[in-house]
Structure 1
Amino acid sequence: MFSAAVRISAAGIRTAVRSRPCFTAPLAVRCYSHAKPETDEEFDARWVTYFSKPDIDAWELRKGMNTLIGYDLVPEPKILDSALRACRRLNDLASAIRILEAVRDKSGPHKDIYPYVIQELQPTLRELGISTPEELGLDKL
């Protein structure tokens, strides 16, 4: 889209001059939230409450775990305790084992995180009758 203008030189010669339209670059706008940031304790409490809902269904459990695992963190044992209890309420052993496998994978190269989480969850695992992936031999597959 060029606009044409006519220019007359000093010698009286008419020439068509094309001028380029003036574009301005958009300014970078940052949209910051005005809400206060969530503390670690509030984050943990929100997820414990989510998994502690008595009417949670299997889809909500999987969606919550997918969202939680998507964060750049390894969930705290109290959140995982709540999620494992939700698995027990739903009678879903496969999801419980998948949760433990996801925690092991999220631990990545930090070899001390997964044993700590299992150690903290041991009473819950015994109470609910859930075996770890290592006890089932799934780590060797």
Structure 2
Amino acid sequence: MAFLTGAFRVAAASSSARAALFSRGAPLAMQARSYSDETESFEEFNERFVKFFDGVEDQFEAQRGLNNAFAQDLVPSPEVIESALRAARRVNDFSLAVRIFEGLKYKVETDTQFKAYLEALSSVREELGVPLKEELYSS
């Protein structure tokens, strides 16, 4: 099957050919990624994402950053959420700003935690004019 390229060639190859292709001698683009065993602290995580959102220049970057932040096995700090809100409003993505709170609501474990985030971010919400989804549909 010479006409197949990349991943399609791997799927069509026999199991021994696939093993040879993904061995250490395979080209870098075909090797599986290996991540280091280093873990970052919560403070380093917060610092990294605050810095990231402070430098966001378009909607795609803001959305990608939020997906990465919420994909972690922790809830981002209010500082990260504030930075993400400011980035969403800076790139003029109102719906993303509203959805940040929607994602946060599903990420926290209890309603009490969510209310604590809302309280901590109330001044930023007011300053940027970001309502909750529930507030948009309450009329």
TM-score w.r.t. the length of structure 2 is: 0.69
Give the root-mean-square deviation of aligned CA atoms.
Answer: 1.9
**Partners of 2:78 and 2:101 in 1: CA distance:** 11
- Quick one: which amino acid aligns to residue 93 of structure 2? D
Structure with greater proportional strand content: 1
Structure with greater proportional helix content: 2
Give the superposition deviation at 1:117.
Answer: 0.6
Give the superposition deviation at 1:33.
Answer: 3.4
Counterpart residue number, 2:89 = 88
Matching of residues 55-74 of structure 1 within 5 Å? 55-74=56-75
Give the superposition deviation at 1:32.
Answer: 8.1
Matching of residues 107-126 of structure 1 within 5 Å? 107-108=108-109, 110-126=110-126
Structure 1 unmatched runs, 5+: 1-30
Counterpart residue number, 1:52 = 54
**Partners of 2:37 and 2:71 in 1: CA distance:** 24
Query: Equivalent residue of 2:86, what SS?
Result: helix
Structure 2 unmatched runs, 5+: 1-33
Matching of residues 96-115 of structure 1 within 5 Å? 96-108=97-109, 110-115=110-115
Give the superposition deviation at 1:34.
Answer: 6.2
Q: How many residues align?
A: 105
TM-score w.r.t. the length of structure 1 is: 0.68
4+ long deviations beyond 2 Å: 31-35
